[in-house]
């Protein structure tokens, strides 16, 4: 595993973004782990987060794109931080854009904030995590309604590596349904590999009991055909 992936896993732990316990996901699944990017709360944290996203994007897609789209609400700071990181570290100026939950009818009207979306734009969608692929269903129609755009792909911070609506993984379903590429900074398999029975700051974060709970979760919600 590349060093920056290990650093990102520890960064999530330090920020309280990666948590273990008993949670329920947006899709209604009871899960022993949860990723909440709402816990990135400082300027320095967002700066580092944008750098990790920028690296993942560059490795998967390169820099030949025009716009980062972050679905409201959590995608808004992600698109801002990552567009800044792409500019700073790769000397490439890309635009950012997000949607509003409610269409604004005065002043800066419309459903978008940030950059407008133009015909021919090559777009990368940036999200925190994808569990069952529910949010992408809302995002794609918004983008397609803005013009003749080319959605290159989706980048998330953590690939939860579980089924979407059917038997395949959520990211695989998204790739096949929308004909786009997907990538993640890290996968849950890499998280488990790095933290299982290995002390971090004098603490074992994933012990045998938690590992068993994670394994059971994947027995129930893992993709049936990897």
Q: Which residues are annotated as a binding site?
A: 26, 73-74, 100-101, 104, 106, 127-135, 160
Binding residues for orotate, as ranges, are 131, 160
Whole-angstrom Cα distance, residue 12 to residue 15? 5
String of DSSP letters for 167-211:
SSBHHHHHHHHHT-EEEEEEEHHHHHHHHBT-EETTEESB-HHHH
> CA-CA distance, 52 to 225, in Å (whole number)?
29
**Secondary structure of residue 130 in the 3-state scheme:** strand
Contact 60, 50 (CB under 8 A): no
Name the catalytic one among 106, 109, 179, 201: 106
- Binding residue positions for 5-phospho-alpha-D-ribose 1-diphosphate: 26, 73-74, 100-101, 104, 106, 127-135
104 catalytic? Reply is: yes
Q: Which of 30, 104, 198, 216 is catalytic?
A: 104
Catalytic residues: 104, 106
């Amino acid at each position: 595993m590349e060093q920056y992936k290990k650093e990102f896993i520890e960064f999530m732990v330090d920020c309280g973004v990666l948590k273990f316990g008993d949670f329920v996901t947006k899709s209604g699944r009871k899960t022993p782990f949860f990723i909440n990017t709402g816990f990135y709360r400082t300027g320095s944290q967002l700066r580092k987060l944008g750098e990790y996203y920028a690296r993942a994007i560059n490795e998967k897609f390169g820099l030949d794109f025009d716009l980062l789209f972050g679905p409201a609400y959590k995608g808004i700071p992600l698109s801002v931080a990552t567009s800044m990181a792409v500019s700073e570290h790769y000397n490439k100026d890309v635009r950012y854009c997000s949607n509003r939950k409610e269409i604004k009818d005065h002043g800066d009207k419309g459903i978008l904030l940030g950059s407008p979306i133009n015909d021919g734009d090559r777009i990368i969608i940036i999200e925190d995590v994808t569990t069952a692929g529910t949010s992408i269903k809302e995002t794609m129609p918004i983008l397609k309604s803005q013009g003749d755009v080319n959605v290159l792909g989706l980048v998330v911070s953590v690939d939860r590596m579980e089924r979407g609506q059917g038997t395949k993984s959520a990211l695989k379903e998204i790739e096949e349904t929308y004909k786009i590429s997907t990538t993640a900074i890290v996968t849950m398999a890499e998280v488990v590999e790095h933290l299982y029975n290995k002390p971090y700051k004098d603490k074992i974060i994933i012990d045998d009991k938690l590992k068993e709970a994670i394994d059971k979760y994947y027995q129930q919600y893992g993709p049936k055909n990897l």
